[in-house]
Structure 1
Amino acid sequence: MDAGDHTAREYFHHSSAKRVNTDLVLLEALRTQYPHLDVIVAPLARCNLLMYAAAGFATAEPIEASHGHHAYDPPVKWVAYVPPQRRLDSQPGAFSERVLFGKYMYKWKDVEFLMYFVNGRDGTAAYPDVTQHYILTTEPQKAYQLIKEASLWTEELHDEVWVFDGGFWDKSRELYESVQKSHWSNVILDEDMKKALIADVEYFFDSRDTYTDLKVPWKRGIIYYGPPGNGKTISIKAMMNMLYKRGKEDNKQSVPTLYVRSLSSWGGPERALSDIFKKARAEAPCYLVFEDLDSIVNDNVRSYFLNEVDGLRANDGILMVGSTNHLDRLDPGIAKRPSRFDRKYYFPDPDWEQRRQYAVFWQGKLKGNKAIEFPDELCPKIANRTDGFSFAYMQEAFVAALLVIAGRRNDGDGEGGDKAQMEDGGDDDLEKLVLWRELKKQIDLLREELGKRRSNDGNIIGFNL
């Protein structure tokens, strides 16, 4: 009588009792069941062979019982329904499977392997979750080559950004998608400053040989500072987007971004900084981002940070960028010493021309809205009235005004759009525009708030841009 898969039976027996070392149990079972095959064990943590196959580089066909069903037949898996991440998402959720024990015929480059995929631990973090691939083959050297290529693929970014948070590095598709919407053409800055920002970063990554010839370390630090809401974050994202395309659209070496959200870690901030710079050195050349640098690198972690920046380990190929709304809160040893952060770029409140450009930006966004009239003559008027505003305050004025207009249109009170046509572009005609009338109200309200915040704090507290 057929008793099912021998190795699966041993896995079931082992899993139903105390477990010490799943590898030893399964290796014994596999060598007994397949005495003519070599067994190679590849941990999932660095080599995800099923994902590698799903990406199209190999095939992995599940092997299930061809006749009859036995208690010990593979696979063993969990099935769960994962709802949409946000209630606002229009897409339905999806079913997700987690294989705990599976048997596959794995084909790669015309070579076939028999592979078991096994979760060897139960419990939570205190009892580690170890999942292994058990590859059976008569050609072990080709299995080693498969493991090498799949491991390299597993470590690479695939439309993702490395993010450090909670003490661990993880790949973020969400941040990547946000970055793809950020382009230098949408960043309103002084043109000379924008060119300098781009040239500074491009020159660094293109100049390894120059640094070597000059016998100076190939590393650099940049600080973006200034009142909130004036383009620091979008400039970082536009730079990330530009660097991501590097290597895809030309022959230059690609530059990944490593984004640090916090130093919160199970091992404390000193362990976090060690892990951050260890990863940066491994990924170099790379763009290492510390947003809100003054809140991340405080007095408690200053010495650990400086040790990583100035210590004995080489930081070749690492370009650090930190942003802060409060340069004065940074330790002078970080903010004022060139060998740590070599250049500082100030992001001031926008001047008249930049405010006019921002109004033009909104004019383009509203171009398809037939209910809102937004003539060219309105852009300089908005720039005149928003003197001293950050881009974030200007954005809030537009958003608040448009919400009021939309609310009135939904209520049917006749004030929800512009029906009057411009005649000669004079001020009297502009006053007929619902958008301009509501914008002026919102700008006046924000200016009152701005005055209060300046008088209370001595600084502008803006909205996030």
Structure 2
Amino acid sequence: MTVGTLTTRPGPPHNETATRYFEHSSAPRVNTDAVIVEALRADYPELHITVVPQQGNNLFAYASAGHASLAAIDEEKDRLTWKFFLPPASRLTGQRGALVDRVKLGRYLLDWQGKEFILCIADGRDGEMAYPSVTNQYILSASVEATNKLLFESGAWNSELHNEIFVFDGGFWQKSAELWDSVQKSNWEDVILDESMKKAIISDVENFFDSRETYERLKVAWKRGIIYYGPPGNGKTISIKAMMNSLYKRKIPVPTLYVKTLASFGGPEYSINQVFSLARRTAPCYLIFEDLDSIINDSVRSYFLNAVDGIEKNDGILMVGSTNHLDRLDPGLAKRPSRFDRKYLFPNPNAEEREKYMVYWQTKLSDNHDLEFPDKLCPAVAKITNGFSFAYLQEAMVASLLAIARDQDGFSERVCLECLEAHAQAAKGSLCDRDCRRSFKGLYDWMSMVRRQDEEDPDLDCYVLWREIKKQVRILKEELGEERRGK
């Protein structure tokens, strides 16, 4: 085997590296790295050693993507691996999963652009952490220049996104292909909002990323902060995802950094530093803090505000924070213009928006020839769902479709409506013998509205979807009343 300009054996007869590693790992130890380097120098005195932490520059991932080839060169007795069963991402794929190895100690021949290197992988302590789980890669080559070229190219590749999104969770950044796939299915056409507000949201973000020169000419820091707020289930998350999708489709894509939580072993201050360090390196970027009120609490507020508004530049960073509880946000976040200077309210939809949402479902189900969904059902449903969020409207539709799938004749829906109507004449809190559901505040007015709809258009009750929606909306009205009483 040729490594650089020297010819060497795949591995020595006596593997000093493996010997020292196992001795070291079964006795008190301080720094695995020093032990492995010393042993490798004994095994390969003629080669140069470069130590590379796997976390920042994963050569296995680089090779797996087709940029290099790897082949094991040590014997089974000199290797240490953990074997895992990796379940499929979804059972719908028809796959059963796979067995994968995690290398704790191993040696490989790495071939890259016609040059060969020896790659040793070792897992252990770094001398600073209380518990081991630091994986280092040891590159051996006759040419330092060749090693540096390899590490530069693999490092650049590892730092880039490949149909992935950066997600910060548990104290470190990771790449999520699952979130990327979900975002690809999110489009502004599927977001039902007030049209003027939707246009303003899109324009606000797109114009920011188009206006760097304008900000610089006006001597204004090129950064923005936006808050989406309002009751849950009204489009904040889907709007964020639709914007992520549109930003990735720009001529020069704008990446998203998504922050789930700041909790970590290093403390929230460490996490905030990690979040903004990557955001500054990645800028221009779209930095998301979902459920901002739960992420930024009193213990981290001052550190977060300093990261946003301190001496370090945040040029090219557009932050979006979402919250269901604007009143819980510190005024320093919600009211200071240099931090989050624009706020959008996502209220419960009005009658027009509820009707548009039903039209969206009508279009979605247009290829189902077994279900009748006439145009007049859309305004009718909108009228009996006052106070519903989009999430509740979706639940009413999904529950109705599932019920229809279970009971195609629709007979039970008629009986249930009569049963539910009887509640309007009953005392508050009474139970119905047939359905065992409590009445709720406003039930009588709601039933009157439902009956008016049926009287204005008697044909409505011929549609099983209308009959089932009436039942499901009634159930959700009760749940909504319980939620409000519990606050």
- Which residue matches 1:355? 354
- Which residue matches 1:395? 394
What is the deviation of 1:17?
Answer: 4.2
Q: 1:303 to 1:116 in 2, by over 3 A?
A: closer
Residues 350-379 of structure 1 deviation map (CA, whole Å, 9 limit, x = unaligned): 233322221122112323333321122322
Residues 96-145 of structure 1 deviation map (CA, whole Å, 9 limit, x = unaligned): 10122222221112222122222244999623323222222222101101
1:147 aligns with 2:146: no
CA RMSD of aligned residues (A): 2.9
Query: How many matched pairs?
Result: 435
1:447 aligns with 2:477: yes
- Which residue matches 1:422? none
Q: 1:21 to 1:297 in 2, by over 3 A?
A: closer
Task: Select 2:55's aligned residue among 45, 58, 61.
Answer: 45
Q: Is the 8 A contact 1:430 1:436 kept in 2?
A: yes
Q: 1:130 to 1:456 in 2, by over 3 A?
A: closer
* Inter-partner Cα distance in structure 2 for 1:233 and 1:45: 30
Residues 9-30 of structure 1 deviation map (CA, whole Å, 9 limit, x = unaligned): 4444444444444444443443
- Which residue matches 1:63? 73
* Inter-partner Cα distance in structure 2 for 1:386 and 1:18: 67
- Which residue matches 2:449? none
Q: Is the 8 A contact 1:415 1:434 kept in 2?
A: no
Q: Is the 8 A contact 1:405 1:415 kept in 2?
A: no
- Which residue matches 1:101? 105
- Which residue matches 1:31? 41
* Inter-partner Cα distance in structure 2 for 1:269 and 1:36: 46
* Inter-partner Cα distance in structure 2 for 1:105 and 1:198: 50
Residues 68-123 of structure 1 deviation map (CA, whole Å, 9 limit, x = unaligned): x8x4xx43322232345677875312101012222222111222212222224499
- Which residue matches 2:242? 238
Q: 1:86 to 1:122 in 2, by over 3 A?
A: farther
- Which residue matches 1:112? 116
- Which residue matches 1:272? 271
Q: 1:360 to 1:264 in 2, by over 3 A?
A: same
* Inter-partner Cα distance in structure 1 for 2:35 and 2:265: 33
* Inter-partner Cα distance in structure 2 for 1:241 and 1:46: 27
Residues 35-88 of structure 1 deviation map (CA, whole Å, 9 limit, x = unaligned): 3322222221211111100011111122245xxx8x4xx433222323456778
| Matched residue type, 2:462 | K
What is the deviation of 1:413?
Answer: 7.7
Task: Select 1:177's aligned residue among 181, 199, 219.
Answer: 181
Q: Is the 8 A contact 2:30 2:126 kept in 1?
A: no
* Inter-partner Cα distance in structure 2 for 1:178 and 1:286: 19
Residue 337 of structure 1 aligns to a residue whose secondary structure is coil
Residue 462 of structure 2 aligns to a residue whose secondary structure is coil
What is the deviation of 1:158?
Answer: 2.6
Residues 148-205 of structure 1 deviation map (CA, whole Å, 9 limit, x = unaligned): 1111222222332222233333223332222222111111112222121111111111
* Inter-partner Cα distance in structure 1 for 2:28 and 2:101: 26
Q: 1:328 to 1:112 in 2, by over 3 A?
A: same
Q: Is the 8 A contact 2:404 2:410 kept in 1?
A: no
* Inter-partner Cα distance in structure 2 for 1:163 and 1:123: 28
- Which residue matches 1:366? 365
Q: 1:124 to 1:275 in 2, by over 3 A?
A: closer
Residue 175 of structure 2 aligns to a residue whose secondary structure is strand
Alignment of 1:323-342 (within 5 A): 323-342=322-341
Alignment of 1:286-435 (within 5 A): 286-409=285-408, 427-435=457-465
* Inter-partner Cα distance in structure 1 for 2:72 and 2:19: 17
Residues 265-317 of structure 1 deviation map (CA, whole Å, 9 limit, x = unaligned): 33443333333223322322221111122232234433233222222222111
* Inter-partner Cα distance in structure 2 for 1:7 and 1:448: 69
Q: 1:274 to 1:43 in 2, by over 3 A?
A: closer
* Inter-partner Cα distance in structure 2 for 1:453 and 1:83: 37
Residue 262 of structure 2 aligns to a residue whose secondary structure is coil
Residue 388 of structure 2 aligns to a residue whose secondary structure is coil
State TM-score, norm by structure 2.
0.81
Structure 1, 324-333 or 356-365: larger mean CA deviation: 324-333
Q: 1:185 to 1:133 in 2, by over 3 A?
A: same
Q: 1:268 to 1:103 in 2, by over 3 A?
A: closer
Structure 1, 230-239 or 21-30: larger mean CA deviation: 21-30
Residues 313-339 of structure 1 deviation map (CA, whole Å, 9 limit, x = unaligned): 221111111112222232223212221
* Inter-partner Cα distance in structure 2 for 1:89 and 1:224: 36
Identical columns (%): 59
| Matched residue type, 1:163 | V
Q: Is the 8 A contact 2:225 2:320 kept in 1?
A: yes
1:137 aligns with 2:167: no
Q: Is the 8 A contact 1:223 1:344 kept in 2?
A: yes
What is the deviation of 1:208?
Answer: 1.6
Task: Select 2:170's aligned residue among 163, 166, 173.
Answer: 166
Structure 1, 318-327 or 119-128: larger mean CA deviation: 119-128
Q: Is the 8 A contact 2:81 2:102 kept in 1?
A: yes
Unaligned 5+ segments in structure 2 are 1-11, 414-455
* Inter-partner Cα distance in structure 1 for 2:123 and 2:481: 61
* Inter-partner Cα distance in structure 2 for 1:23 and 1:447: 63
Structure 1, 381-390 or 211-220: larger mean CA deviation: 381-390
Residue 114 of structure 1 aligns to a residue whose secondary structure is strand
State TM-score, norm by structure 1.
0.84
